[in-house]
Chain A
Amino acid sequence: MPIAVYRIDERLLHGQVVVGWGRRFGIGFYVVVDDRIAETAWERDLYESALPAGVESFFLTVEDAIGQLPELEGRGDIGMALTAGTAEMRRLGEVGLLLGQEVNLGGLHATEGRERLLDYLFASSDELQDIRALGDLAGSVSARDLPGSPRVGLRRLLKTVERARP
Chain B
Amino acid sequence: MKPTRSDQVASFLRCFAVQGSWNYRSLVAGGLANAMLPLLRRVYAGDPVRLRAAVERHLEPFNGHPYLCPMAVTALARLEHDGESPERIDRFRSALRAPLGAVGDELVWATWRPFCLLLSITLFWLWGRPWVAVGVFLLAYNLGHIWLRAWSFRRGWTEGLGVGKDLGDPPWARVVPWITSLNLLLIGSAVVLVSWLVAPDTLGRWGVALALAAAALLGYARPALGERLAAGLVLAAPVLLVLLGA
Which residues of B have CB within 8 Å of A120?
24
A52 touching B101 in the complex, CB below 8 Å, given contacts A43-B91, A46-B96, A47-B95: no
A15 and B105: CB pair below 8 A? yes
A15 touching B25 in the complex, CB below 8 Å, given contacts A109-B61, A110-B61: no
A109 touching B25 in the complex, CB below 8 Å, given contacts A14-B101, A42-B161: yes
Asked if B65 is at the interface of the complex by the 8 Å CB criterion, the answer is yes
A14 touching B98 in the complex, CB below 8 Å, given contacts A23-B110, A147-B224: yes
A14 and B63: CB pair below 8 A? yes
Asked if B97 is at the interface of the complex by the 8 Å CB criterion, the answer is yes
Q: Show the binding face of A for B, using Cβ within 8 Å.
A: 11-20, 23-24, 37, 40, 42-43, 45-53, 109-111, 119-120, 147-148
B245 to A: closest C-beta gap in Å: 34
CA separation between A19 and B104, bound complex, in Å? Answer: 10
A15 and B106: CB pair below 8 A? yes
Q: Show the binding face of B for A, using Cβ within 8 Å.
A: 24-27, 61, 63, 65, 91-92, 95-99, 101-106, 109-110, 161, 163-168, 173, 223-224, 227
Minimum CB distance partner of A52 in chain B: B106
B87 to A: closest C-beta gap in Å: 12
A46 and B95: CB pair below 8 A? yes
Instruction: Please tell me which one of the listed residues A15, A42, A43, A51 contacts residue B101 in the complex, with CB atoms under 8 A apart.
Output: A15
Which residues of B have CB within 8 Å of A119?
24
24 A-B pairs with CB atoms under 8 Å apart are: A11-B97, A11-B101, A12-B98, A14-B97, A14-B101, A14-B102, A15-B65, A16-B105, A18-B102, A19-B102, A23-B110, A43-B91, A43-B95, A46-B98, A46-B167, A47-B95, A48-B168, A49-B99, A49-B103, A49-B166, A50-B99, A52-B106, A111-B61, A119-B24
A45 and B106: CB pair below 8 A? no
A42 and B164: CB pair below 8 A? yes
A50 and B61: CB pair below 8 A? no
A46 and B24: CB pair below 8 A? no
Which residues of A have CB within 8 Å of B168?
45, 48-49
CA separation between A49 and B163, bound complex, in Å? Answer: 9
A50 touching B102 in the complex, CB below 8 Å, given contacts A14-B63, A109-B25, A110-B24: yes
Which residues of B have CB within 8 Å of A110?
24-26, 61
A90 to B: closest C-beta gap in Å: 21
